Structure 1
């Protein structure tokens, strides 16, 4: 039976937390969920990714990038095969170099509404870290540098970012516009 899954997606290891609450169809393919996560978190889909459920990996089937692990084709599996009950979790890892791990929690299983436009972001906090900033430690260093205009690396960091960066910014309306444009 098709339902709506309310998911909370939390970027692991970052304080204060960066998170999103989203609604998706329970039978969404993992490959499509990857694209939803890219849009709601603010990533640019520039790196490899995988889903991890227990000891099973789901991603793009490519022996060159599987690092000797068995990786199941994400486009052959739906979310409701990995998450069946409320409070269950899986991990979504993006950018194997920076290793951004996201905990995905199935918060609620809601009845399916055919007129409800999905996917939909219903809440979130804080901006996604900039791509290629060096993972959790690089991101913390970036924030420390930007908080001190006297830091000798301040101007260089602003230039690298292409301007300012507000770690508190999150625009839910813009996020939902992007989801609507991509998935409609």
Structure 2
């Protein structure tokens, strides 16, 4: 399956918090949500939704005031093809209102391993539950020495330290490993080698030397070893 390159931008942040990733085009939007959480640095504690050309995708519930399609049933490939201006939007945490613009930079790319993966990015993700971009601006000001009460309270809640420029690419790479395992492709990773005829012959001779001449006898020996280990 071909790949798609995306640029994820957290709107109304200055300097801009952003990430560039390559993902398989067949990824569904729920999995893309989980991917965004990992590469941005969110903790997946709140609701989310995607919006493209006035259509919404997420986790429908009885409290929604507009039609929302199941994110599990929508593919990135279809959304990318319909996105006006080559971009769509992702909202995380309806309270703090973290709005992301997702730019489709390239489609139909030759598939690569590992995938998905982070290419580059900049700036630390805001902490959860700090009041949106207003709180993020206050937190960064406090980290820079500003004595504003709100910003200082946020900074103290984080143990007195916050580096807005920190981007831990090693941590992101670690978080993406389960995704890469889920999208395992041919040629990715070592394969188990089959025993050669010589190896098979050596094994057969070894078993015969131990008085084992059939599969039934081998199974009996193995069962005896299991029973013995249980008694101990």
- Same fold by TM-score greater than 0.5: yes
Instruction: For residue 53 of structure 1, report the CA deviation from its aligned partner.
Output: 0.4
- How many pairs align? 180
Cα 1:148/1:118, change in 2 over 3 Å: same
> Whose radius of gyration is greater, 1 or 2?
2
The Cα offsets for residues 33-65 of structure 1, whole Å up to 9 and x where unpaired, read as 00000000000000000000011110012123x
Partner of 1:100: 98
- Higher share in strand: 1
2:143 to 143, 146, 150: 146
Q: CA deviation at 1:3?
A: 1.4
Q: Which residue of 1 aligns with 2:215?
A: none
- How much is the aligned-residue C-alpha RMSD, in angstroms? 1.9
**Secondary structure of 1:84 counterpart:** helix
Deviates more, 1:145-154 or 1:17-26: 145-154
CA distance in 2, matches of 1:153, 1:30: 36
Structure 1 position 183, deviation (Å): 4.4
Structure 1 segment 94-173 matched on structure 2, within 5 A: 94-113=92-111, 116-148=113-145, 150-151=147-148, 156-173=153-170
- Greater helix percent: which structure? 2
Shift in CA distance, 31/141, structure 1 to aligned 2, threshold 3 Å: same
Highest RCO, 1 vs 2 (Cα 8 Å, sep ≥ 6): 1
Q: 2:139–2:152: 8 Å Cα contact kept in structure 1?
A: no
Report the Cα distance in structure 2 between the residues aligned to 1:33 and 1:176, rounded to whole angstroms. 16
TM-score where L is the length of structure 2: 0.72
Structure 2 residue runs without a partner (length 5+):
182-232
